[in-house]
Amino acid sequence: MTLKKISIGADHAGFKLKEKVRIYLQEKGYTVKDLGCFSEERADYPDFGHAVARSLENHESEIGIIICGSGNGINMSANKHVGIRSALCWKPEIAELARQHNDANVLALPARFMEDEQAFKCADIFLNTPFEGGRHADRVNKIDC
């Protein structure tokens, strides 16, 4: 299996988890482009949601991972981009379905509501679950406006 290029970004609330997920994935052999933020100093989640979305739009990465406190704000920001299907996942089963049924290309994680190991499991499943296509493809094709 070919390892995917990943862009990752987070606001201040997601910074610590972003660092842990980034290191975890790099140790597994993934190429991870860190788009910030780079400290726990206040940072606005849209800046990083948009940066990760643009990296996919520009074909710099194949998959994105975004993290903020609840996962909601950064997820909403990324989903403003055409072709971006960001899924807020806090359990591995949700990450699996996001890939299988929705062909999600960005994983949004809620840093304040999950343990590190749970985030690692979500990332592993998200990165290794294929899109099923079929009846799901028809639905996915209706998402963009």
d(CA 90, CA 9): 17
Catalytic positions are: 68, 101
Instruction: Give pairs for 88-97: CB < 8 Å, separation 24+.
Output: 89/122, 89/126, 90/114, 90/118, 90/122, 91/118, 91/122, 92/118, 92/121, 92/122, 92/124, 92/125, 94/122, 95/121, 95/122, 95/123, 95/125, 95/126, 95/129, 96/125, 96/126, 96/129
**Residue 26: how many CB atoms within 10 A of its CB?**
13
